Structure 1
């Protein structure tokens, strides 16, 4: 089972909308080496895992796969925030939406020249399950051979390539919203590289000499350095409520990245930060709840609560 805590796994800094950066981040979400791929690949490997004696390896893959769900949420929310609003539009909620605001542009004018027009036409200024050129995410990306060594090798390659691409995206934009998420994912990708490298090491594969991949000296990125100084590249969470994960049998000892840190799998999950729902976007007619609809929703909710009270008694009395 999976449980959802209504927190984002990492804070997203505030900055101006940047649809170009949003589109670049789509590669990190729905591209061949993006977060949707890692999430699905590891969960399918965990679901199809065979061999009870190898449970620690399954638990490691499953724990990382569970974390990847939160990465999909984080990067998707970041894309949405980068698209949310129109920098040159200074109108008010009461203004006619087909006219420019005072001293500004029409609300969605930026869609014609920046980023991916589908973010505005199809996604109502939100993330889409596509890559940076609009190709839909494909289940054919998922690699699940059934062979433990092959799967671990492929997973390490996947994390390394994803980290490489995120380092490139970091160099493409100075937007604080984008960089706060990119930096966090760069560091967590390295943690996952370390996990899969350590797993391969226990199986006699001397892969760890190559880590980290790419050789970026990521600490030159100030946002990344703040996180590596906290040792985030050497932590792995279990996301296990019952304390049954055996991933700590593998994720321990000196880091394969040779940065002098010890691998630590003792934490269940990071603390996270509150998740905030964005305000309405009137120019997108999203969500489009007028007063009459809001009254109908409230009336429906009142009826449902009355049914619950009739069946189970008044809640909280």
Structure 2
């Protein structure tokens, strides 16, 4: 079973809307080497895993796959915040949505010239399951051979390529909102590289000569260096409420990254940061909830919270 703690896995910095940066981040979400791919690949590998004696490897896959769900939430939320608002529109928030703002500007004019028009036309200023070119995410990306060594080799390549692409996205924008998330994902990709490299070592695979982890020099990015100094690249979480994960039998010892750090799998999950719901966008008719529907939503939320407290105790 999976549980959702209503906190983002990492804070998102505030900055101005930037639709072009949002579209670049779509590659890190729905591209061939993006977070949707890693989430689905590792979860399918863990679901289909065979061999009880190899449980530590299943636990490692499941823990990383569960973390990737949080990464999808984080990068999707970041894309939405980068799209949230129309920077050149200066109309009053109480104006009718069909009235021009200052200088004749219309609310969604930016959609015609910036980023991906589908972010405004289809997604109501939110993330989409597509890459930066607008191609839909495909389940054919998922690699699940059933052979442990092959899967781990492919996963190491996937994390290495994903980190490489995120370093490129970092270089494309100075927007603080985009960089805060992309920097976190760069460091966590390195942690997952370390996990799969260590797992291959325990199976006798000399991965260093066959598939060396690429040198990206990402530590020169100040946001990345701060996280590396905290040791985030050498930490892996279990996301296991029952504390039955055996992934720590693999994720231990000296880091394969060669940075002198020791691997640590003792933490269940990161602390996270509170989630705030974005304001409605009247020009998108989103959410478009009238007074009666809003009251129903509030009542339903109270009922769900009461059911949770009856089951799990006061949260």
TM-score class, shorter: over 0.9
Q: TM-score w.r.t. structure 1 length?
A: 0.92
Q: List structure 1 runs of 4+ shifted beyond 4 angstroms.
A: 209-212, 295-298
Per-residue Cα deviation, 1:232-271 (whole angstroms, up to 9, x for no partner): 0000000011110000000000000000000000000000
Larger Rg: 1
Partner of 1:226 in structure 2?
226
The DSSP-based 3-state class of the residue aligned with 1:95 is coil
Native 8 Å contact 1:208 1:256 kept in 2: no
Q: Contact between 1:211 and 1:257, CA under 8 Å: does it hold in 2?
A: no
- Cα distance change on mapping 1:120 and 1:235 into 2, 3 Å: same
1:24-173 superposed matches below 5 A: 24-102=24-102, 105-173=105-173
Equivalent-residue separation in structure 1 for 2:164 and 2:141 (angstroms): 18
CA contact (8 A) 1:190 1:212 kept: no
Provide, for residues 176-227 of structure 1, a one-character-per-residue CA deviation record: whole Å limited to 9, x for no partner: 0000000000000000000000000111111146887331111110000000
> Hey, what's the Cα distance between the residues in 2 that align with 1:144 and 1:37?
12
CA change 1:209–1:186 in 2 (3 A) is: farther
Q: Structure 1 regions of 5+ residues with no counterpart? A: none
What's the secondary structure of 2:181's corresponding residue?
A: helix
> Per-residue displacement from partner, 1:257-305 (whole Å, max 9, x unpaired)?
000000000000000000110000001000011234335556x759x96
RMSD of aligned Cα (Å): 2.1
1:210/1:13 CA distance change after superposition, 3 Å:
farther
Superposition TM-score, scaled by structure 2 size: 0.93
List per-residue Cα deviations over 1:109-155 (Å, max 9, x = no partner).
11001110000000000000011111111111100000000000000
For residues 216 and 300 of structure 2, the distance between their equivalents in structure 1, rounded to whole angstroms, comes to 53
5+ residue gaps, structure 2, are none
The residue matched to 1:259 in structure 2 has which SS?
coil
Kept after mapping to 1: 8 A contact 2:157/2:211: no
Contact 1:248 1:266 in 2 (8 A): yes
Pairwise CA distance, 1:92:
1.9
Q: Tell me which residue corresponds to 2:204.
A: 204
